[in-house]
Amino acid sequence: MENLETLFQSFETGIRSAKADKPKDYLKNIGLDYAELRIGFNSGQFHHNKDQEFKNRFEALGVLKKSDAGVRKDTMTAYTVFGRYGLVFPLTNKENEIVNYFALRFDLDTPKEEYLNSEGIYPAYPHPLTKRLFIAPTVIDSASLMQSKVLENRDAVIALHDGDLLPQHLEAIKELHELEEIIIIKR
């Protein structure tokens, strides 16, 4: 697991785990299916029993942060994990590489949504031949629209980043030379 792509693959394995009942139930309640969409589950334990070099790589990516929480041994370092016990959705760059995560920490008193950074687009950069582009306010809205099967052949959807249209969104829209219509979905 050297990058966000391979780490996300472990999250996808995590959602399929027999122990992942709570995340599966939550997805069912909000009408999303991890078998149809790229959704993972971060139990917060991917770094356990790994060497320091492994942890350093993910600390550099922002997925792990050193914590001052107590640990069993003085030689151990505690970490806070991005999106711990949360559903994770991948954001990609133009080359379709995962460069960011959106996490929905559903098991808190008040569910919390967070991004790892401000890069990428969910679910992906639209195909250049897109004719109709839907702009959804959130990743969850975008995922719901994709799963609804209402998108036609040359339709695409992108999610705003915390409600904001970022430079990468504008860049992606400018690349759509056959674009005929933009539909902005409001809440």
List of domains in the chain: 4-115 (3.90.980.10), 132-184 (no CATH)
Residues 97-109 pLDDT 10s: 999 999 999 988 8
Residues 129-187 pLDDT 10s: 999 999 999 999 999 999 998 999 999 999 999 999 999 999 999 999 999 999 999 87
Residue 34 carries which side chain, given as an amino acid letter?
Y
pTM of the model: 0.90
Residues 32-87 pLDDT 10s: 999 999 999 998 777 666 666 777 787 888 888 877 655 565 556 777 788 889 99
Task: Supply 116's token pair.
Answer: 């790892």
Asked if residues 137 and 114 have their Cβ atoms less than 8 Å apart, the reply is no
In angstroms, the CA 84 to CA 88 distance is 9
